[in-house]
Amino acid sequence: MPVFLEDPSEFSKERLKSELIAHNVALPPGENKKQEYLELYLKNVDTKNAADFSSDEEEELPVSVDSEQRAEEPDMRDLSRLTDEDLKAYLRQHGFQAGPITATTRYVYEKKLKRLMEPKSQAQKNGSEDKAVYSDSEEEENEEEQEQPDPSLETVTCVEKEIANSKMETHSMADYHWYPQCFMPPARLVKRPKKSAEPTSSAPSTFSVTELVEKIERRRSSIAEPEPEWENSWNRERRPESCGRRPLQMLDKLTMTNTSLLDTSPMSTFRHQMAVPVTDVLMEIFPETEKTPTGIVATRRRPIKGAAGRPVKFKYPDTPLSPKTTGQQEVQRHKFPIWVQLLCFLIVTLLLLVTYLATEDTLKSSLTLLLDNLNEVLAAPSVEDAPLIADAAVPLLSGE
Amino acid sequence: MSSTSQKHKDFVAEPMGEKLVMALAGIGEVLGKRLEEKGFDKAYVVLGQFLVLKKDEELFRDWLKDTCGANVKQQGDCYGCLREWCDSFL
């Protein structure tokens, strides 16, 4: 911008005035000396220009350099303070080709820029909120909440050894609470010192399904049977000297401050715990997906890794061929040309025909012989009957 | 819709000349008054704004809403009539 290269003190009075008006600076009433205008100009416009100028310089840098930071820049200032060129440049940065920025269009473009910048900043805000949700401190609180019942239960069992009537309930409860520890004690033992050592980094990584189930069960038990728990704490308060251990104080404190394990607060924390790890699981499954404000992500369905639905030829890529098919292939390979086959066929048929004819001749002869014999046999009686017939015929003839 | 309104047809049928801003489809008496107050007294001034916003529908609608408080239908009518006029006369 050539304006910034000039010395404002060399401007004419009229120019200074117009510059001030252009930069929305209220002019002092009446005619004034140039010096006053110059001071106003230096105070209001020049500083602004300097800032704008620097941002302009940045614009000429490669775009890849912290483009996000620059995109946020107009957010910090008022959009109306941007020069027309800056406004246009920001719009271009957001992928919008702005037309001429005039007095009547400027406001429209400012709104447009605001709208273009909004989704981005909103997403960032949401991201930070997510981080707050997953923050370590909260996780730690939950951990504490979760860990505190255990020592207390120790004391509870200790106390209840002396008290007979509610022994059964506590035992069942104690068992209920103890089994996860038997289930996976090393994880707990390892985790606790680690947490104290580096509380920030361990929180997201320590999540495990078994632990979640464990938590849920514990909460459920404390919700389902609040009576014995209450009774236990009551009993212990009556005779604290029976068990002079440190964990006892913790539970006493708990009950005294009404942050008992029973009613509302565990429930709410329970809910909270439920919510957080579930999303965590999603993040574990799809680590590459972006966090969205709604938490709903639509992705292309992944192909199933099994053989389901695949064509058979891909299912068993190198099955050994059956002997039958190999034989067929052999035959195929050693096949004669078709004319040779035809020739063979003709020869064979000819041979068959010849043999048939030959045999037919002999058959015919034998048949004729047989027939002749038969004829002879039949002919003999007919010859004998002939005179009888002739005799019979004679009287008939004679009678006439 | 804009294509069926008589005002739209009349406006699109001929060069706008010196028509008032109220001749635009979707701009009635109230909106016309408001626009006149802001200096957009003639239809060609609004056309100028329309053109300087590069015929962008979203921006023009935005501008019209801000300037005279036009509702969505009025915005659409005005935009449609100006765009069609440009298509035939520009």
| Chain A residues touching B65 at Cβ < 8 A | none
What are the b/e assignments for A48-68, b being 16+ CB within 10 Å? Answer: bbeebbebbeeeeeeeeeeee
Nearest chain B alpha carbon to A113? B59
DSSP per-residue string spanning A235-284: HHHH-GGG---HHHHHHHHHHHTT--SSSHHHHHHHHHHHHHHHHHHHHH
- Specify the pLDDT at position A190: 43
Residue B24 has pLDDT above 80, yes or no: yes
Q: CA–CA distance from A333 to each of A329, A330, A336 (Å)?
A: 6, 5, 9
> What span, in angstroms and rounded, lies between the C-alpha atoms of A373 and A200?
124
> What span, in angstroms and rounded, lies between the C-alpha atoms of A40 and A317?
84
pTM of the model: 0.33
Contact call for A102 and B52, based on CB within 8 A: yes
* Interval A178-237: pLDDT, tens: 444 445 444 444 444 444 444 444 444 455 666 667 777 776 665 544 444 444 444 444
In the numeric block, which tokens belong to residue A124? 């960032």
> What span, in angstroms and rounded, lies between the C-alpha atoms of A373 and A379?
10
B interface test, pick of A101, A104, A110 with most B CB neighbours within 10 Å: A104
A165 within domain boundaries: no
In the numeric block, which tokens belong to residue A318? 């190198």
Residues of A with CB under 8 A from a CB of B: 97, 99-100, 102, 104-105, 107-109, 111-112
- Specify the pLDDT at position A318: 56
Beta bridge partners of B20: B42
| Chain A residues touching B59 at Cβ < 8 A | 105, 108-109, 112
- Contact assessment for residue A163 and residue A235, using Cβ atoms and an 8 Å cutoff: yes
| Chain B residues touching A102 at Cβ < 8 A | 52
Beta bridge partners of B42: B20
Nearest chain B alpha carbon to A111? B62
Contact call for A105 and B54, based on CB within 8 A: no
Nearest chain A alpha carbon to B53? A99
In the numeric block, which tokens belong to residue A72? 């946020």
> What span, in angstroms and rounded, lies between the C-alpha atoms of B64 and B82?
13
| Chain A residues touching B58 at Cβ < 8 A | 112
Q: What is the CATH number of the domain that holds A44?
A: 1.10.720.40
DSSP per-residue string spanning A5-64: HS-GGGS-HHHHHHHHHHTTPPPPSS---HHHHHHHIIIIIIHHHHHHHHHHHHHTS-TT
| Chain B residues touching A114 at Cβ < 8 A | none
A20 within domain boundaries: yes
Please, what is the end-to-end C-alpha distance for chain B in angstroms?
Answer: 23
DSSP per-residue string spanning A328-384: HHHHHHTPPPHHHHHHHHHHHHHHHHHHHHHHHHHHHHHHHHHHHHHHHHHHHHHHH
Contact call for A108 and B52, based on CB within 8 A: no
- Could you read off the pLDDT tens digit of each residue along chain A, which spans 400 residues? 444 445 666 666 667 667 767 776 666 555 566 666 667 666 665 554 444 444 444 443 343 434 444 444 445 457 777 888 888 888 888 888 888 888 888 888 888 888 888 876 655 544 444 444 454 444 444 444 444 444 444 444 444 444 444 444 444 444 444 444 445 444 444 444 444 444 444 444 455 666 667 777 776 665 544 444 444 444 444 444 444 444 444 444 444 444 444 444 444 444 444 444 455 666 677 666 666 667 676 777 766 666 565 555 555 555 555 666 666 666 666 677 889 999 999 999 999 999 999 888 777 777 778 888 888 777 665 444 445 544 544 444 444 3
Minimum distance, in Å, between the CA of residue A81 and any CA atom of chain B: 20
pLDDT band at residue B28 under the 50/70/90 scheme: very high
Nearest chain A alpha carbon to B58? A112
- Residue position matching structure tokens 């038997």: A182
- Contact assessment for residue B21 and residue B36, using Cβ atoms and an 8 Å cutoff: yes
- Specify the pLDDT at position B86: 94
Query: Which of B46, B54, B58 is CA-nearest to residue B82?
Result: B46
Minimum distance, in Å, between the CA of residue B58 and any CA atom of chain A: 9
A64 within domain boundaries: no
In the numeric block, which tokens belong to residue A239? 């005779």
pLDDT band at residue B49 under the 50/70/90 scheme: very high
Minimum distance, in Å, between the CA of residue A115 and any CA atom of chain B: 12
- In chain A, the number of structural domains is 2
Enumerate domains of chain B plus CATH numbers.
6-89 (1.10.150.40)
A2 within domain boundaries: no
Provide the domain limits for residue A97: 84-116
How many CB pairs lie under 8 A apart between chains A and B? 28
Contact call for B53 and A99, based on CB within 8 A: yes
How many CA within 13 A on the CB side of residue A313? Answer: 0
Angle of helix B6-13 relative to helix B72-89, nearest 10 degrees, comes to 30
Give the mean model confidence (pLDDT) for residues B31-35: 93
> What span, in angstroms and rounded, lies between the C-alpha atoms of B81 and B5?
10
- Specify the pLDDT at position A138: 45
Q: Is B86 on the interface with A (CB under 8 A)?
A: no
Q: Is B66 on the interface with A (CB under 8 A)?
A: yes
